[in-house]
Structure 1
Amino acid sequence: MLGPVQTRSVSPVFVGRTEELNSLNEALSRAAAGEPQALLLGGEAGVGKTRLVEEFATAACRQGAVVALGGCVEIGADGLPFAPFSTALRALRRALPAEFAAAASGQEEELARLLPEMGEGLPARRTGRHDEESLARLFELTARLLERVAAERTVVVALEDLHWADASTRHLLAYLFRTLRTGRLVVLATYRADDIHRRHPLRPLLAELDRLRTVRRIELGRFTRDEVSRQIAGILATEPNPGQVDDIFERSDGNAFFVEELAVCATEGCAGLTDSLRDLLLVRVEGLPESTQRVARVVAEGGSTVEYRLLAAVSGLAEDDLIEALRAAVNANILSPAPDGDGYRFRHSLVREAVADDLLPGERSRLNRRYAEALEADPTLVPADERVMRLASYWYHAHDPSKALPAVLDASVTARRRHAYAEQLRLLERAMELWDTAPEDVRAALRPVDFTEVYPPCGCDPATAPLRYLDLMAEAAVAGRLGGERERALKITKRALHLLEDDGDPLRAAWFWVQRSHLVQGLARGDGWTELATAEELVRGLPPSEVHAEVLSNFANWSMVHCPGPEAVTAAERAVEYARMVGAREIEMNACLTNAGLAVESGDVEAGLAEMFEILRQTLDDGLSTVASRVYVNLPNALEAIGRSREAIPILEEGLAYARKFRLSDKEAWIWGNLAESLYSLGRWDQAADAAVRAERVGRSARPRGFHAANRAVLALARGELSEAARHLTAARGYFGSHDRAPQHDLPLSDLAIGVAAGEGRLLDARAALERVLDTGFPPGTQRYAWPLLLTAATMEADSLGLPVAEQNRAKILDRIREAARPLATNAPVWLAHERWLRAELLRAESADTPDHWSEAVTAFEPLERPYDLARVRHRLAQALLSAPGGAEQPDRDRATELLRLAHAAADHLGARPLADAVTLLAQRARLSLTAAQSPEPDDPVRSLGLTGRERDVLRLVALGRTNRQIAEELFISPKTASVHVSNILAKLAVSGRGEAAAVAHRLGLFPQRALHAPVTE
């Protein structure tokens, strides 16, 4: 509208910053090579951050990169949720429409939280229940979107004024900096270093990002005298007087913006200039015509940028007068057109802040009222995605509670829909602040259903009852929990419960106690039991309700994890019943899942598993992603617990795809951890290690990371890496903490502690760790953790037999282990196998074991897919055979040789060095060879049939009746490879099936009876 304007205070010459610009260009080159770059650019106000970004953006565009700029928006000191990302993504969508559409395909509804226009034409958004994963889903989707858009084209995303960023923007930026791994992408964020005081919310983020090796931080310093001289020369288009340079350099102290202001003031002969920063910033504004100063004051209170039509409505000037006033402000370099051409902003935020600070209190509230009234009269004056938030800010700063309260509540709903929970909490806190000052009739007109998704029962229909202060507190508590502001949420629940002391509303109080339970667990202040027990006491005897069902469901789930037993089962069954009565489908499914898990742990395995499979089907059909993802964690975990690891693998892989689809990062981390556990059991240790690492990368909460560390410790201990095992054990303990000692985490860590201490020769420390567990006992349903722990302790006692330090209290410890094992369940094959193994180890610790005891253990493990455990008991059986009376006889030696070869092959394949070394040592002492049998002579009938060495091994196992899977396990090949070998053998023998091949082998005497049981060759 104003056409070209003069900008003489800005130097056309880019001064200095050579090193910083080189750093940015280097990052651009690395990004172009496929390595994403993350940079932070800091410096005091006016030092030249924006000019540097502009120069870099221009250079990047010349190299073919797409630059998307976004700035944090300040509206009356309130940052808009995700404002810089929304602006940058919008620019990216305009620049690369096809690439953006392809990258966002299928996720438009979720992305509409950042870009509302993407939701146009889509069905009405499903509300659903918000949970801790909601924000993570949005963050993960944004990261993957940027990676896909930047897959083929270099993209620069520059976010300015991070010091004004809202909490959601800060969290999203931190997530991007931590997780971006691919794409030709540069993410650059700028901030004012001098504004980051000790309590500034950006300060913790900067400290966190400093610890990331992938983030580079650049600090802009002030200009030297020579650079100031060159800057002035560019502004004045002539060489400045040295005295003038000295004066400006001294006054500005090298700050680029102050140099500009002083240079212009000096040439215009501004009078009355003082050393005051405020006066320096205001002196040229006060020299403008009164109408221009008036417009400047209006713009200063409107926010970072004010749209032209909104400015016209608020200023009250005729259009011609407004344009003239704007032209004068632009020519004086006070205002500048907005980048999108639809409004005006101060050329530098320091000037805006000085003008705004110069407003009188009454003047400020009056301007905010006029902004709010103009926006209410014509909502099209501002972009749709900013309207509600800006209206709330304007009415709040207009100090009109009757208008501000509904507006702030409307804004809180918008923030919740965008998963901007931190901003939702701030707005709800404002609503609570305004509550008492708002007129009664205004409060009476508000309805809970319009402003909250949390309805703690108050005995009324939320669609007709008025909104209560406690409703706001309930919504704020949930917003704080979901947004990571647990401390504030905890304080809100405390205040709410204090208000409810004389309220006589037990259901509402019970609901707040459940929230406190979640919060104290999340803050590691306790295990949450006291709070849940209080809630359960409050609802006892009350009629069924959604809150009652939720309390019972949480009670049952807590009990399943910490102390499973009859009370947990009863609570889960009642939770299911009550949830069905009141139609709370998600609570019902959660309680059903808990009940099914309890059934498996109590011994009703098949019924519990069948129920879990049915819950998975129903929750997938109903779109209950939170419950379905929990099934994907619990179901394979139950299968692993009863030794059916191979069945768990496909479910876990399916669960990973599901968790990624819905961006459930913590659930994905748990699934990766369960996958690592099952792969370890199956002897796929390298894959297990990779899965554990993936769990660490994905998980954001402490407990999944603790599970990952424990998995890594188990693997390291089995491989003889004691220092690594100890390091991971320490990390796991740190993640789980000491406030919530759940047996499913505590018992495996105690098992590891015993194993590490025993491995390091610290027998007394290991015994102390064992006694702490035995003093506490094993809760019902924890046999999956108890059997391995007792076995570790018994093995330690047997291995230390004969050591003087070990003899004291040995008998007592062995008796305690037997006593602890007596009530443990054995109704799953893997538990029964551990029971027989434990019995043999205890006898070995007393020098009373026999080959028969170990044969029982080997027989129990042979049908199970536990190659490491099988190798260990085979080693012990060989040891018993060689040590038994008559062990020197040839049949026992032959059997021991076979067992040791099998155990050594398994240990070598797994990388279990302690076991491999123990097997080797035993073979050396017994003068047994672990090498394969000699190759057959040339006239060997097997060779004459054209069979290779490997086919010879396969045929021997076929003759023994082994299946392809069993052959694969014994030869450490895949079932598919075994099938190929069998097919080749059938063709070479000219037979039609496995039975005929076995008959040929027997008829020709290809394998003598002893050879049939000999170890296979490589």
Structure 2
Amino acid sequence: MLGAVETRSVSPVFVGRAGELTALTEALSRATAGEPQALLVGGEAGVGKTRLIEEFLDEACDRGAVVALGGCVELGADGLPFAPFATALRSLHRRLPDELTAAADGQEGELARLLPELGDPGSHEPSDEDATARLFELTVRLLERLAADRTIVLVLEDLHWADTSTRHLLTYLLRTLRRGRIVVVASYRADDIHRRHPLRPLLAELDRLRSIRRIELSRFTRTEVHRQLTGILAAEPAPALVEEVFERSDGNAFFVEELVVSHEAGCAPGQLSDSLRDLLLVRVEALTEDAQRVARIVAEGGSTVEHGLLAAVARLTEDELIEALRACVGANILLAVPDGDGYRFRHSLVREAVSDDLLPGERSRLNRRYAEALEADPSLVRPDERATRLATYWYHAHDPAKALPAVLRASVATRKRYAYAEQLRLLERALELWDEAPADIRSALRPMDYAEAYPPCGCDPETTPLRYLDLLAEAAVAARLSGERERALKIGKMALRLLGSEEENDPLRAAWFWTEKARLQSNLGRGDGWEEIARAQELVKGLPPSAVHATVLVGAAGWGMLRNPGPEALAAAERAVAYARHVKAESIELNARLTHGTIMVAAGDVEAGLAEMHEVRERKTALGQFNEVSRAHTNISSSLESLGRSREAVEIADAGIRLARSYGLVDSVGWIEGNRAESLFSLGRWDEAREAAEQLLRSATSTKPRASASLRLAQLAAARGELDDARRHLADARAVYGNRDPIPQYTLPMAQVAISVAAAEGRLADVRAQLADAQKGGFPPGTPRYGWPLVLTAAAAEADSRGLPAADEGRADALALIRRCVRDLAAPAPVWAAHSLQVSQELARAEGSESATRWAEVVAAYEPLDRPAHLARARHRHADALLVEGGHREEATALLREAHATALRLGDRPLREDVELLAARARLSLAPEKQLPAPAEPGDDGFGLTPREQDVLRLVAAGRTNRQIAEELFISPKTASVHVSNILAKLGVSGRGEAAALAHRLHLLDTAL
């Protein structure tokens, strides 16, 4: 209606910013070539961010790109989630309706939480921890599909106002966007980003992504201000005016415009206040009374106000309203919103100044009128914004009776959009309003309408009033689902304090809060959570069966499944299944059955346990509970790996990953990918395992899957002899898993990596200390997959160091400790029986009593299994034993060639070097086409050590210092030092300990083979 109104004082000439505009257009060119681009544009308020982006968008449109623009609004802080993304997607839906519908095919319900035009969002799981991540993943894939055949420019303005959910979605988009012709540009007001601003950590995180470019706009120089004034005035400005404007504006482009308005209005310098607010209000105060009134109303209504809503609040006649709006638009204070029926301030600084100029009572009155108008006619705003805006208006109207129900309705709306961070903020506002609202208002509220977190406890949800504790439960879950676990723990502690009073004696509700606290304590690394679970079990003891009782038992069974999957955990899982069945809580029952099946496998009832897990997976699939279907894939693949059935585990994992990705279950993908990487490592598909772990490290949205990736990378690096990488990845894993909640599936593999690194560096004391610490925790059922590799690594370290004086001290105790570990470990599958045989032979080697015949048995045990790395090591040891015993050179050669081929394929450097050095010393060829050379000459070690260096190496291995070596060999300490340095270089080791360990492992101090 007002699109043709002439506006004044916007700079008609684009000044400066040539380098910044070039950066944007170059990004557009790269995106058009198929390489996604992301840029952050920052600068203080009024410096020209919007104008730069407008110039860029003009260029993008000229090149045929599709532009989608969305802006963050201040209302977002009160719970309007995903505002810029929703606006941008709505723009794409208008421009590309058929293409967007096709790209969303099959996921319209989920994506409708962002873009309601796609249909009905449908139901949701009240405690679905993957819901937000799923929505994020689907959004990114939607954009990638849309940008497959066309260039899309997605602009998100004013990130400094972004709600938490928007910040999280943007972070996810920028981290995972890998394909498509798309440019993402986000702007923010740099001067608003104070030390505690929530955008600051996001910017720091994005700075670490090399794929993102930051553009910071500086203020104009005097020359640029001169050019801007020339454009505005359409004439050469007087030098005095240029100097005055430049000094007063300090080069801020927007302030230059405002100062020109002041000058054109005839204001003398002395009449213009130096305060920013007064400067910005000069233009408003020049309007008519009605126009000023409309400006004040729009300023309090939010970033954008619809025409109908404005008319209802302003209470002017239609002609009066149009004239007032015409004046505001003509003075360049308000703009008509493109693609909509509303108005916004041209610059947010002016809106803030007008809003700040309102009296407190005036602000409350305007918010009340907005709320009353919206209640009278809800169609005045978009349906997806209605609840949140009404809650905001009533809250700022300072009317608790109206605000409390409105805020609670808004919290439900944000929960259904998986915007849990905004739900939490609204619930905290409801808790603030609770005591201020009249009792009759509170008593009319029902938990069935506003709270889903707390399970039914036998009370009638239609007659029982909503209570403060219900809101605390809902807030605790919202905090946990939004990643604010510390806040969730604080809310839970507050609830438990209330439940400890006589007025709030509710054991079921207390048990629920204790179970939540157990989960949070474990997630935060504050403990294992057992004390809290035990407290919850005591509270429900003797009470009639309920969903809460079943939930507590599932928590106890899950605790046991991870830490001690023995008879007590199995009994707890069976009780949980029975209780859930009794109260007809099928979802809880299926979760309990999945845990029950996992524990059954660990306890030895393999086929029955696997069958139960598969049944749960099929039923969850039929119910459409795909988050739990993914958990079933996680548990089944893990159980198969524990049985040595790694190929089946990879197949199940692959199917689970495909399903999880199709439904955007990002965290579930992470858990399954971690299991898949472990099975790939077992199968000797090490390059694939590394790729899977590195991808998981990049894409995982929570800490434990990322730590799982670090652990897999640490294992792989240790196996390949990449010790620095192994230490680094191990430190990353330990930083997450820690020591407060020692779960064997994490602690035992971490100990194995630490032992492997220590053994490679000749630190036998550390090997023994690590094993002793690991043995204290024991090896409960289900842990052979972690315990046997750990014990095998320690036994091999003892065998490799046989003959070292430093190793001989305490060896008997060390071997006795290994044997105690062996007695504690079961061998429930052929692969662990093979490990048991290998450990026994490593112990024999450590005592000097190994046998080629027994090593042949180890080789035979591994040959039918998918464990190429272990088979290759067994073949190497078998060949070594044959050569030591004498003869059998052809058989030893065949074994070494097979081991060498495996080492090359795996990238197992330590094994490759061991095989090559053994073959060199024995004069055996690893090339099949070559003839076997003659046996090695006495004293030829394959390293080129001189006889004197061999003498020095014997003394190094005996633990002698350089001075002691010099005295014994009648040479100077300096000469001894030179010999030691030469030995280290020839052996390719970094220290005396490694040299001694290598010498004994390769029989360099023995007679020739």
Normalising by structure 2, report the TM-score: 0.90
2:587 is equivalent to residue 591 of structure 1: no
Asked whether the equivalents of residues 220 and 251 of structure 2 are also in contact (C-alpha less than 8 Å), the reply is yes
Q: How does 1:528-677 map to 2 (within 5 A)?
A: 528-677=529-678
Deviations 1:674-703 (A, max 9, x none): 222212222222222222222222212222
Q: How does 1:429-468 map to 2 (within 5 A)?
A: 429-457=428-456, 459-468=458-467
Write the distance in 2 (CA, Å) between the matches of 1:17 and 1:157.
21
Tell me the SS of whatever aligns to 1:75. Answer: helix
Asked whether the equivalents of residues 454 and 512 of structure 2 are also in contact (C-alpha less than 8 Å), the reply is no
Asked whether the equivalents of residues 31 and 182 of structure 2 are also in contact (C-alpha less than 8 Å), the reply is yes
Instruction: Give the match for residue 930 of structure 1.
Output: 926
Tell me the SS of whatever aligns to 2:109. Answer: helix
Superposed displacement of residue 79, structure 1:
5.6
Write the distance in 2 (CA, Å) between the matches of 1:435 and 1:189.
38
Aligned partner (choices 921, 933, 953) of residue 917 of structure 2: 921
Tell me the SS of whatever aligns to 1:734. Answer: helix
The verdict on how the C-alpha distance between 1:3 and 1:829 changes in structure 2, with shifts beyond 3 A counting, is closer
Q: How does 1:616-1015 map to 2 (within 5 A)?
A: 616-884=617-885, 887-888=886-887, 892-932=888-928
The verdict on how the C-alpha distance between 1:227 and 1:543 changes in structure 2, with shifts beyond 3 A counting, is same
Amino acid at match of 1:905: A
Deviations 1:459-517 (A, max 9, x none): 51223311111111111111010011222222111111111102221110111112112
Superposed displacement of residue 828, structure 1:
1.2
Superposed displacement of residue 847, structure 1:
0.8
2:423 is equivalent to residue 424 of structure 1: yes
Superposed displacement of residue 781, structure 1:
2.9
The verdict on how the C-alpha distance between 1:807 and 1:279 changes in structure 2, with shifts beyond 3 A counting, is same
Deviations 1:571-624 (A, max 9, x none): 111111111111222221121121111111122222222222222222222222
The verdict on how the C-alpha distance between 1:313 and 1:659 changes in structure 2, with shifts beyond 3 A counting, is same
Amino acid at match of 1:103: A
Write the distance in 2 (CA, Å) between the matches of 1:70 and 1:700.
25
Write the distance in 1 (CA, Å) between the matches of 2:23 and 2:904.
49
Q: Give the superposed CA RMSD.
A: 1.7
The verdict on how the C-alpha distance between 1:441 and 1:113 changes in structure 2, with shifts beyond 3 A counting, is same
Superposed displacement of residue 80, structure 1:
1.9
Write the distance in 2 (CA, Å) between the matches of 1:894 and 1:659.
52
Amino acid at match of 1:19: G
Asked whether the equivalents of residues 73 and 79 of structure 1 are also in contact (C-alpha less than 8 Å), the reply is no
Q: For structure 1, which segment, 672-681 or 926-935, has the greater mean C-alpha deviation from structure 2 after superposition?
A: 926-935
Identity among equivalent positions (%) equals 66
Write the distance in 1 (CA, Å) between the matches of 2:542 and 2:568.
16
Amino acid at match of 1:901: R
Q: How does 1:284-323 map to 2 (within 5 A)?
A: 284-323=283-322
Instruction: Give the match for residue 74 of structure 2.
Output: 74
Tell me the SS of whatever aligns to 1:822. Answer: helix
Superposed displacement of residue 861, structure 1:
1.4
Write the distance in 2 (CA, Å) between the matches of 1:235 and 1:208.
40
The verdict on how the C-alpha distance between 1:934 and 1:878 changes in structure 2, with shifts beyond 3 A counting, is closer
Instruction: Give the match for residue 1016 of structure 1.
Output: none
Q: How does 1:495-514 map to 2 (within 5 A)?
A: 495-502=494-501, 503-514=504-515
Say which structure, 1 or 2, has more relative contact order (CA 8 Å, 6+ apart): 2
Q: For structure 1, which segment, 838-847 or 849-858, has the greater mean C-alpha deviation from structure 2 after superposition?
A: 849-858
Structure 2 portions without partners, runs of 5+: 932-1009
Write the distance in 2 (CA, Å) between the matches of 1:562 and 1:452.
33
Write the distance in 1 (CA, Å) between the matches of 2:457 and 2:675.
42
Instruction: Give the match for residue 200 of structure 1.
Output: 197
Write the distance in 1 (CA, Å) between the matches of 2:920 and 2:180.
56
Instruction: Give the match for residue 87 of structure 2.
Output: 87
Tell me the SS of whatever aligns to 2:150. Answer: coil
Amino acid at match of 1:750: A
Amino acid at match of 1:15: V
Deviations 1:224-275 (A, max 9, x none): 1111111112111111111111111111111111111110111121363221
Instruction: Give the match for residue 40 of structure 1.
Output: 40
Amino acid at match of 1:906: T
Instruction: Give the match for residue 16 of structure 1.
Output: 16
Superposed displacement of residue 868, structure 1:
1.4
Normalising by structure 1, report the TM-score: 0.89
Asked whether the equivalents of residues 75 and 392 of structure 2 are also in contact (C-alpha less than 8 Å), the reply is yes
Q: For structure 1, which segment, 892-901 or 87-96, has the greater mean C-alpha deviation from structure 2 after superposition?
A: 892-901
Tell me the SS of whatever aligns to 2:925. Answer: coil
Deviations 1:108-133 (A, max 9, x none): 101100111111xx5x7123343221
Asked whether the equivalents of residues 636 and 651 of structure 1 are also in contact (C-alpha less than 8 Å), the reply is yes
Instruction: Give the match for residue 281 of structure 1.
Output: 280
Write the distance in 1 (CA, Å) between the matches of 2:623 and 2:455.
24
Instruction: Give the match for residue 326 of structure 2.
Output: 327
Amino acid at match of 1:493: G
Instruction: Give the match for residue 234 of structure 2.
Output: 237
Instruction: Give the match for residue 30 of structure 1.
Output: 30
Deviations 1:330-356 (A, max 9, x none): 222222212224111222111111111
Write the distance in 2 (CA, Å) between the matches of 1:612 and 1:435.
45
Deviations 1:931-951 (A, max 9, x none): 32679xxxxxxxxxxxxxxxx
Write the distance in 2 (CA, Å) between the matches of 1:69 and 1:365.
32
Tell me the SS of whatever aligns to 1:479. Answer: helix
Write the distance in 2 (CA, Å) between the matches of 1:18 and 1:270.
34
Tell me the SS of whatever aligns to 2:500. Answer: helix
The verdict on how the C-alpha distance between 1:933 and 1:26 changes in structure 2, with shifts beyond 3 A counting, is closer
Instruction: Give the match for residue 946 of structure 2.
Output: none
The verdict on how the C-alpha distance between 1:88 and 1:504 changes in structure 2, with shifts beyond 3 A counting, is same
Amino acid at match of 1:24: L
Q: For structure 1, which segment, 412-421 or 647-656, has the greater mean C-alpha deviation from structure 2 after superposition?
A: 647-656
Asked whether the equivalents of residues 76 and 303 of structure 1 are also in contact (C-alpha less than 8 Å), the reply is no
Amino acid at match of 1:508: R
Asked whether the equivalents of residues 155 and 186 of structure 1 are also in contact (C-alpha less than 8 Å), the reply is yes
Asked whether the equivalents of residues 779 and 824 of structure 2 are also in contact (C-alpha less than 8 Å), the reply is no
Asked whether the equivalents of residues 261 and 283 of structure 2 are also in contact (C-alpha less than 8 Å), the reply is no
Amino acid at match of 1:21: L
Tell me the SS of whatever aligns to 1:15. Answer: coil
Write the distance in 2 (CA, Å) between the matches of 1:322 and 1:896.
98
Aligned residues: 927
Write the distance in 2 (CA, Å) between the matches of 1:294 and 1:931.
92
Superposed displacement of residue 723, structure 1:
2.2
Asked whether the equivalents of residues 669 and 694 of structure 1 are also in contact (C-alpha less than 8 Å), the reply is no
2:127 is equivalent to residue 160 of structure 1: no
Tell me the SS of whatever aligns to 1:5. Answer: coil
Write the distance in 2 (CA, Å) between the matches of 1:913 and 1:200.
49
Amino acid at match of 1:911: G
Write the distance in 2 (CA, Å) between the matches of 1:116 and 1:608.
43
Write the distance in 2 (CA, Å) between the matches of 1:55 and 1:224.
20
Write the distance in 1 (CA, Å) between the matches of 2:187 and 2:903.
55
The verdict on how the C-alpha distance between 1:584 and 1:77 changes in structure 2, with shifts beyond 3 A counting, is closer
Asked whether the equivalents of residues 101 and 118 of structure 2 are also in contact (C-alpha less than 8 Å), the reply is no
Instruction: Give the match for residue 103 of structure 1.
Output: 103
Instruction: Give the match for residue 220 of structure 1.
Output: 217
Deviations 1:69-92 (A, max 9, x none): 111122396362111000101111
Asked whether the equivalents of residues 456 and 507 of structure 1 are also in contact (C-alpha less than 8 Å), the reply is no
Instruction: Give the match for residue 491 of structure 1.
Output: 490
Superposed displacement of residue 542, structure 1:
2.1
Write the distance in 2 (CA, Å) between the matches of 1:726 and 1:455.
44
Write the distance in 1 (CA, Å) between the matches of 2:668 and 2:751.
25
Q: How does 1:138-217 map to 2 (within 5 A)?
A: 138-217=135-214
Q: For structure 1, which segment, 753-762 or 661-670, has the greater mean C-alpha deviation from structure 2 after superposition?
A: 661-670
Amino acid at match of 1:895: E
Write the distance in 1 (CA, Å) between the matches of 2:404 and 2:64.
49
